[in-house]
Amino acid sequence: MKNSIYTTASGMMTSAERLNTIANNLANFSTNGYKEDIPFEQTIRFLTEGPYPGKDQPVLGGSAMNMQNGLITQTGRNLDLAFEGPGFLAVQGPGNNELYTRDGALKLNSKRELVTSEGYNILDRFDNKITLFGEKVQITPKGDIFIDDNYFTTLKVVDLPDRDKLEKVGNTFLKLKDGNPPPPQIEDPQIQVGALEKSNVNVLAGMGELIQTQRTFDLQRTAADVMLKIVRKAITDIPKPV
């Protein structure tokens, strides 16, 4: 009975964590450049006391990022960028840490610096902040920036092919895990100017998974309630030795 309760409780915790991951995906359906998290389970053997063998318990092993491209929508705005293939914009994040994003909804701050919607500085290929003074700003599909028809600098666009080396910072930024070398720059990126990449979350599939996981959690909770009632009844009804 004790092992059954442990197994059910472990399953409930796994389902609850899975629900949180799925709900976060759905909440970011409209977030530009968001990459879906795919939860996965693993089995851990918990040791027991005495002659009884260990018990395998399901736990949520974590989540893996779905790196597929999202749908590209046209905006017509000259500071909106979307990647047709591989590529991430390099950003100066908090603490001067370099972050990477596919959220191309860029803007100019009060200092005329090119920044993300969160206010983080976009970096050029030489790791410098980009300050744009002039009447006319143009970004080409190769990431070159022109001011008043004169070449100014080029965006730093990197390739991040190995998702196992990455971790999320917030919902739209990625960073390399400690100990990994800097990512290579893409010399010939394919950028759509005047467009944005939406999230790659499949809402219908996510809603179906959410319902299925919620039902699983409800069944596990019902099973746990039944087992606890049996334990309470055994404690209260079995006569104590005289």
DSSP string, 114-168: EE-TT-PEEBBTTS-B-B--SS-EEE-TTSEEEETTEEEEEB-EE----GGGEEE
**Residue 119, in any domain of the structure:** yes
Residues 21 and 124 placed together within one structural domain of the fold? no
**Residue 242, in any domain of the structure:** no
Residues 89 and 148 placed together within one structural domain of the fold? yes
Residues 13 and 38 placed together within one structural domain of the fold? yes
Residues 105 and 57 placed together within one structural domain of the fold? no
Rounded to 10 deg, the angle between the 203-237 and 2-27 helix axes is: 150
Residues 30 and 141 placed together within one structural domain of the fold? no
User: What pTM did the predictor assign?
Assistant: 0.81
Residues 190 and 79 placed together within one structural domain of the fold? yes
pLDDT digits (tens, 9 = 90+) for 180-224: 999 999 999 999 999 999 999 999 999 999 999 899 888 888 887
Residues 43 and 129 placed together within one structural domain of the fold? no
- As a whole number of angstroms, the distance between CA 221 and CA 210 comes to 16
First to last CA, the chain: 26
pLDDT digits (tens, 9 = 90+) for 1-32: 555 666 677 778 888 888 999 999 999 999 99
Supply the range of the domain harboring residue 86: 72-197
Residues 139 and 223 placed together within one structural domain of the fold? no
Provide the domain count of the chain. 2
Which two three-digit tokens encode residue 140? Answer: 């080409």
Residues 187 and 111 placed together within one structural domain of the fold? yes
**Residue 137, in any domain of the structure:** yes
